Structure 1
Amino acid sequence: MSGAAPSASADLDETTVTEAAVASFRDTPDPRLRACLSILVRHLHAAVREMEPTLDEWEAAVDFLTATGQKCDDTRQEFVLLSDVLGISSLVENINHRKSPGATEATVLGPFHVTESPQRALGDSIDEVGKAEPCLVTGRVVSADGTALLGASVDVWQADDEGYYDVQRPDVLPPGNGRGLFTTDDDGRFRFTTVVPSYYPIPTDGPVGRLLLATNRHPYRPAHIHFIATANGHVPVTTHIFVAGSPYLGSDAVFAVKSSLIREFHRVEDPDTAAEHGLPTPYAHADIELVLEPFQGEVSG
């Protein structure tokens, strides 16, 4: 009967339970879901056979996953963090963004893209505290053939100069600090002022932190700024720029660093140049070109 569980022998054991579990999904209407569940079950069962966990170890694993879910809320995504530190987020991004030469490389979304970035005008500051030396970030969004993408959306978020996102210190940092949603001009350009972010530890007060401690891994990420660039007719890209010379560039806790995304944050001390941008001296300056690929079969223009 359609929808009924497949019949199975009452004598299922460790040698036969895997095929029975896979067969239980044989009537799944969605072929992609059926295939993914079959692959997942086979690999999970293979891992369990290789590890041969005790019952206490299996209960500890279930408790860990339960605690991971319980740690999630509107401003904290512990499961994303777990995916990050296991390298899964990086793997998924790389699989889904196999770029042609010259296109901007993708990196992980991270656990802090959890609130909507405020819409801001070009040149606005995303630093709403104003206690640190300013940093000018300029950039351009272009298609793979170099055509400027006017009206592209650039979503930006970052930690402050002490390594905190707004959602981590709501009593100190105003909502939206370090975040901004910008629209490129006719030449595909965008710009904003901010502060040079600091390197920082990912949250360690939950199950993921305990996992890192148990495995003698550090929790640090090198200093970076996040970007999501989207434009009509083009594949969106989620990426970072990393601050050249930052600690942990060679051992990012979430495996996201790529050499093509490391940028110098140059110190500018010329008062005339600063005046052109309405900034005091000194200030830092970084620049990035975000190169998007057209959707297959489409051309820019």
Structure 2
Amino acid sequence: MDFTEESATPAVVESFAGTPDPRLREILGSLTRHLHDFIREVEPTMEEWEWGVDFLTRTGQKCDDTRQEFILLSDVLGVSMLVETINQRKAAGTAGEPVTDSTVLGPFHMVDSPERAFGDSIDMMGTGQPCVVTGRVLSVDGTPLAGAMVDVWQADDNGFYDVQQPGAQPQGNGRGLFTTDEEGRFRFSTVVPAHYPIPTDGPVGELLGATERHPYRPAHIHFIAGHTGFQPVTTHIFVEDSAYLDSDAVFAVKKSLVQTFTEVDDAALAAEYGVKAPFRLAGFDIVLRPS
């Protein structure tokens, strides 16, 4: 059969007809139809097509153990947040429980965050304004979840993650893996994170430059919380007075996740928390849905 503009799509879709996995067959068919429609719409030149292939090739080549350029690309195109939002809606079904909103994982998550005890500091540098974060992990009915896992990570007060500055920050700075107590509580001290630019030294940075988009993310702290028998959630808290809350480069801000980091000048309370006054105090309860 001749391969023409009209026959191209059904021919490729039909080539996947024998795929044993029905979900894979559905995905490949839909991908083919949408991709072919895109090509028909924009009618790229051969040079443009070759540039696109080169862009994706270089995106993959930029990935390593501490940098995931494809996640970054997904983030700046809004795909990561769209996937998160769709999956949260599907998980909720018709129940509509008040669970914590999810948001993007980001390119700097490390699965081996150092284990830390209740109240420990994740700041290993001693710079920046001290901050204490307190919260609980709860079920949708308000039951505290003892023994829940809370993985946290953040940039420092200059806007860099430890993996971005291996010579300047100790490994594990700004990271911690906590276990909630018998009342479902967690607490840690840190520094108030800064807003920062996502990495722009790769293909994603080229894309932002070509489209005159800024690369900045508002100040935030990442969380993953989970417990046996419950659906885990990947989320952030955003610093209420941070810049770029209305123009996050990766579209990850949700109103429910913007939290007040209250200025506290109480020496006794600071001593109780193991920090120096004045410090900032933020509270964040994480609500999980049974699986």
TM-score, normalised with respect to structure 1: 0.94
Residue of structure 1 equivalent to 2:68 = 77
**Further displaced range: 201-210 or 122-131:** 122-131
Q: Does 1:255 align with 2:271?
A: no
Which amino acid in the other structure matches residue 143 of structure 1?
S
Tell whether 2:261 aligns with 1:265: yes
Q: Displacement, 1:101?
A: 4.2
Alignment of 1:52-91 (within 5 A): 52-91=43-82
Unaligned runs of 5+ in 1: 1-8, 296-301
Following TM superposition, by how much is the alpha carbon of 1:116 offset from its aligned partner in structure 2, in angstroms? 1.6
Aligned twin of 2:24: 33
CA distance in 2, matches of 1:189, 1:275: 19
Residue aligning to 1:241: 237
Deviation beyond 4 Å, 4+ runs, structure 1: none
1:93 aligns with 2:89: no
Aligned equivalent of 1:225:
221
Between the aligned partners of 1:49 and 1:158, the Cα distance in structure 2 is 43
Residue among 108, 130, 135 paired with 2:131: 135
d(CA) in 1 for partners of 2:272 and 2:87?
41
State the 1:277 CA deviation.
Answer: 1.7
Q: Is this contact kept in 1: 2:97–2:289, CA < 8 A?
A: no
Name which of structure 1's ranges 98-107 and 280-289 shifts more when overlaid on structure 2.
Answer: 98-107
What is aligned with 2:8?
17
Contact 1:75–1:115 under 8 Å retained in 2: no
Match of 1:46 in 2: 37
Q: CA offsets per residue over residues 255-285 of structure 1, 9 Å max, x none?
A: 0000000001111101121122222111111
**Which ranges of structure 2 fall in alignment gaps of 5 or more residues?**
none
Aligned residues: 286
- State the Cα deviation string for residues 20-40 of structure 1 (Å, max 9, x = none): 000010111111000000000
CA distance in 2, matches of 1:132, 1:87: 31
Q: 1:209 aligns with which of 205, 209, 218?
A: 205
How many angstroms apart in 1 are the aligned matches of 2:51 and 2:110? Answer: 29
Listed one character per residue, the Cα deviations across residues 170-190 of structure 1 (whole Å, up to 9, x for unaligned) are 010000000000000000000
Give the number of the structure whose alpha-carbon radius of gyration is greater: 1
> What amino acid is aligned across from residue 26 of structure 2 in structure 1?
A
- How far the C-alpha of 1:114 sits from its partner, in A, is 3.5
Whole-Å Cα distance in 2 between the matches of residues 195 and 38 of structure 1? Answer: 48
Contact 1:154–1:182 under 8 Å retained in 2: yes
Matched, 1:282 2:291: no
The alignment partner of 1:18 has SS state of helix
Whether contact under 8 Å (1:228, 1:237) holds in the other structure is: yes
SS at match of 1:193: strand
Query: Is the Cα contact below 8 Å between 1:76 and 1:114 reproduced in 2?
Result: no
1:163 aligns with 2:154: no
Query: Are the counterparts in 2 of residues 222 and 252 from structure 1 also a CA contact under 8 Å?
Result: yes
Letter in 2 for 1:266: T
**Who is 2:118 aligned against?**
122
* Native 8 Å contact 2:9 2:33 kept in 1: yes
Identical aligned residues as a percent: 65
Q: Which amino acid aligns with 1:26?
A: A
